[in-house]
Structure 1
């Protein structure tokens, strides 16, 4: 996609390389199910090679530059509702006469993916956001931010039959920068790679939001980066799933929104860990991270880590916005999404409005101390925490030594013990970080909580909250999510 969001009624530009004579594009909208919207084409197919990687390995392709594939356009109807949409690119089979026949139309109809995750994830697909012409006019009070920068960081540029292995994590491209360009790994947003994270985190949560009657509008990271007034029509901003990469402007706009009385719910983790610098007309970004180039770190310490003091980092702990940090949390070993303990969050302050209607207890009445999400893989795949100390009553309280706001209230906690072995050696939540602190000043724990500073900021402290809620795997998690949305965005009207 030329850009991952488009306003209804305007034109969407996409880029395709194929050796097929023709291809079509099928559009779907993610909602309570995957809804077929339209089919367009046929378009003439044109093959184009990926740009070579500077490491010279033929199987790789450069993640740093625009792949510059042939462009195509499609007008998005003005009446398409706001949402996240899926484009599926389908190579034509058979003759043009067959494709134009009733038999061809019937065959294409049979090819429409089923309304399930299997029809969302995969190659030959791309997603984009449709934004309304008049934000908030429909009554939507919630803006859902799709974490597109994080998606690009992990996108390897693969296709179904070719593993190109080129991303911020696989064979990245590092540039020294200069007077008018930041130093760091460069990543182009104009690369293919298919759809993955959307199916895992976003699709089930979006389906649940619509089933539950919430009016929601959508944006991308780039939208939040470019538009200072983007949040003004809304009461609540959502960060969902894995939201690791933030620009300074994104963070400034979100922080200003909170200071002005707006609310944020981080149903996410590993959030705001690395700073990115959009470049090349915002079609790429640069980030000085600690990812290997070959067998070496090109620059240590990596200066785009948000929390460390300059010159070794940005000096603005993510905790100041989110209340929590990956350096006080961690991740589980093994392949994504990985297996993990299923004990859930130990409940604290069960009389808080966040727990209203859950029936969960914190043990202060002499009964059992319950765990939110027990029996599900709620904690992880990655999770964030706040530095804390336990008082005489066994209640965990944030210390604020890591930048967490003084008013942050810990509502749920899960001690990360044992953790991945690397964390014992490399400290503070990231396996490639150099040792930046002499000692661990707080136990690591996934942390759910909130604070108020103008507006209210809630954090789930875990990437997989939207999975457990969206699939309705735990009634307590579902009810807490409802409580947060209803309180911070206003009442919803359930349609079931």
Structure 2
């Protein structure tokens, strides 16, 4: 079978997908005073959002764009991947277009900011475009004009080795655009976790506001921060990969019928109950699940939208209490540490040279997974690590009781029912150990930082994929 991803990455790449100039507003400084939150959320000079989080080839997607002051602009479309180390391929230039300043909507009673901007550009995705994460790079047509991104996924209904899910529900939950309108903002506290707050995809992405200040990622959600290193590495290694949005796992789960391995990457915190059930069904049908993520499946959300259409806004419902039944280990918030091996004889560690007690420095952060674990025959703890900066290891159960973790990180693996596997790395920063592509700023946090690509992380990931693809070859 032809490897479409390898063929795509043989095309000429470019470094020009990266932003060169940027300009941010600082309207939220007073609100964030006395906190460690990063300022400068909005780029009002040029910003935009897409009408859909993902699209099939042949379908159309609208880009809603605002320029302030009004200015003409161009749109360049890039697909991200390996491309000989450049990280991106230029596919299309659109424009020049006349820009306009579009209105910032008033907040609703739920603090919802839902833009009703006029479409500035409509793109019909060419049939030949392959699945991937795409950036629309917006540029003001002035000398050294400011730039920003719009991010979207092209998905495909085709057989593939690996399906990677981007964590765009979590990107949107933390999106503060235009300044203090994330799911954590109640108008007073910067870390509100109560009810009656809703967020919408109908608005631009602000610059991410915690852990790392990355102005050159403006408009890309969290993809360039935690998820691009995985995609870059997978495509460099020659795997056949397709991509989907969180919203696809919610309402287009037939995509999982076409893959052997499904990967959750980065900061995959916000899920619907339907996403959870679809992932369980895929596991039971023989798909291997790799949670190369931390704080995953932590908050269950309430979706809002028209019947039969992708939802465009959501609110926090409650914390998941059964995520360990899917992932093998439970989801927690802040915690930093070295990823420490306790089961070096396991096949996952073949070729790494790792012994019991060996550690990969700084790989755990800034949020993690740990006990309690799924009670199933064959589950094994692969790494069990001391942590610092722990925010929460107590789980409040529905019956009023409490479940206590051991204040440690745990990486686990357990067998699925059809020669498949479920692996849980237990850290947002797993991808940091795989690669450091162009445009990426290595992660760091309050108590720790990663050291960059590590051959042991790479070999563990190769071992996992080799076993999952070999043991489950009959799925394809």
Q: TM-score w.r.t. structure 1 length? A: 0.70
Q: Deviations over 1:210-238 (max 9, x none)?
A: 11111100000111111232200111100
CA distance in 1, matches of 2:402, 2:302: 31
Task: Find 2:366's aligned residue among 381, 386, 398.
Answer: 381
Per the alignment, residue 380 of structure 2 pairs with 409
**CA separation in 1, counterparts of 2:61 and 2:282?**
29
By how many angstroms is 1:439 displaced? Answer: 6.2
Aligned to 1:52: 106
Shift of 1:37: 1.9
Establish whether residue 30 from structure 1 lines up as the match of residue 80 from structure 2.
Answer: yes
Query: Could you tell which deviates more after superposition, 27-36 or 274-283?
Result: 274-283
- Out of 332, 349, 358, the position equivalent to 1:370 is 358
Cα distance change on mapping 1:435 and 1:255 into 2, 3 Å: closer
Measured in 2, the distance between the counterparts of 1:384 and 1:252 equals 20
Residue 188 in structure 1 maps to residue 211 in structure 2: no
- Taking a change above 3 Å as real, the CA distance of residues 199 and 488 of structure 1, as seen in their structure-2 partners, is same
| In structure 1, C-alpha distance between the alignment counterparts of 2:399 and 2:389, rounded to whole Å | 19
Maintained 8 Å contact 1:243/1:270 = yes
Where in structure 2 are there 5+ consecutive unaligned residues? 1-49, 189-194, 206-218, 437-451, 472-476
Q: Take 2:371 and 2:397, find their aligned partners in 1: how far apart are those partners?
A: 20
**Structure 2 contact 366–428 (Cα < 8 Å) conserved:** yes
Q: Partners in 1 of 2:113 and 2:64 — Cα distance?
A: 14
Cα distance in 1 between the residues matched to 2:260 and 2:111: 37
Residue number in structure 2 paired with 1:447 = 410
Find the counterpart in structure 2 of residue 478 from structure 1: 458
CA RMSD of aligned residues (A): 2.7
The worse-fitting range, judged by mean Cα deviation, of 478-487 and 347-356 is 347-356
What does the per-residue CA deviation read over 1:158-179, in whole Å, with 9 as the maximum and x for residues that have no partner? 4xxxxx2211012379xxxxxx
- Cα displacement (A) at 1:63: 5.6
Counterpart-to-counterpart distance in 2, 1:408 and 1:386: 13
Q: Deviations over 1:54-101 (max 9, x none)?
A: 57xxxxxx862420111130122222221101111112227xxxxxxx
Q: Who is 1:305 aligned against?
A: 319
Report how many aligned residue pairs link the two structures.
377
CA distance in 1, matches of 2:103, 2:367: 36
CA contact (8 A) 1:347 1:411 kept: yes
Q: Is the 8 A contact 1:155 1:167 kept in 2?
A: yes
SS of 1:214's partner is coil
1: CA distance, partners of 2:404 / 2:204: 42
SS at match of 1:81: coil
Structure-1 separation of matches of 2:404 and 2:115: 46
The answer (yes or no) to whether the contact 2:167–2:267 under 8 Å persists in 1 is yes
Q: C-alpha distance in 1, partners of 2:368/2:268?
A: 11
Counting only pairs closer than 5 Å after superposition, residues 146-157 of structure 1 correspond to structure 2 as 146-157=166-177
Work out the CA distance in 2 between the residues paired with 1:462 and 1:87: 29
Q: CA deviation at 1:444?
A: 1.6
CA displacement at 1:406 relative to structure 2: 4.6
Give the match for residue 311 of structure 2: 283
**Distance in 1, Cα, partners of 2:221 & 2:171:** 9
Match of 1:4 among 50, 53, 75: 53
Partner SS state of residue 394, structure 2: coil
Give 1:119's aligned residue. Answer: none
**Distance of 1:280 and 1:218 partners within structure 2:** 23
What's the CA shift for 1:45? 1.3
CA change 1:86–1:63 in 2 (3 A) is farther
Question: Is the Cα–Cα contact under 8 Å of residues 271 and 300 in structure 2 kept in the other structure?
Answer: yes
Structure of greater Rg: 1
- Per the alignment, residue 354 of structure 1 pairs with 348
Give SS of 2:381's match: strand
SS at match of 2:431: helix
Q: Counterparts of 1:135-284 in structure 2 under 5 Å?
A: 135-136=158-159, 140-158=160-178, 164-171=179-186, 184-193=196-205, 194-281=219-306, 282-284=310-312
Distance 1:477 1:46, change over 3 A: same
Q: Is contact 1:63–1:191 with CA below 8 Å preserved after alignment?
A: no
- 2:140 and 2:405 map into 1 onto residues whose CA distance is 55
**8 Å CA contact retained: 1:190, 1:283:** no
The offset of 1:286, in angstroms, is 3.1
Name 1:331's counterpart in structure 2. Answer: 334
Report SS of the residue matched to 1:16: strand
DSSP 3-state at the match of 2:52: coil
2:132 paired with 1:127: no
Distance (whole Å) between structure 2 residues aligned to residue 462 and residue 262 of structure 1: 22
1:27–1:39 contact (8 Å) kept in structure 2 = yes
TM-superposed deviation, 1:5: 0.9
CA spacing shift, 1:304–1:8, aligned 2, 3 Å: same
> Relative to 1, partners in 2 of residues 1:243 and 1:186: Cα closer, same or farther, differing over 3 Å?
same
Runs of 5+ in structure 1 lacking a partner? Answer: 56-61, 95-106, 112-121, 159-163, 174-182, 289-302, 308-316, 333-339, 363-368, 388-399, 492-496
2:429 paired residue number:
464
Q: Is the 8 A contact 1:63 1:188 kept in 2?
A: no
